Amino acid sequence: MPTYCASKAALHSYTQSLRWQLRETQVDVLEIIPPYVQTELGGPSQAVDPRAMPLKDFIAETMEIMQSQPEAREICVEKGQGSAVCRGEW
């Protein structure tokens, strides 16, 4: 778990840095922050874990936010909590 958490933090920091570095270009850097999702990344049991968000629901919610709020730069999807959209400064 520590490696997973560190990897997520590193990726978040990288996307912020990249967004800042590209702020005066036509490139948009979008960060999608998923919850615990039903996939087989953690093994076959994760794909059916009721605590995890179904993959189709995650994809549908993410796509809806991207279409309805194209200015969003950070999308944090949370199972059963509604989603937070961070527009960012850059």
Instruction: Mark whether 4 is an active-site residue.
Output: yes
- Cβ of 58: how many Cβ atoms within 10 Å? 21
Catalytic residue among 4, 10, 23, 60: 4
Distance CA(90)–CA(85), nearest Å, equals 14
Residues with catalytic annotation? 4
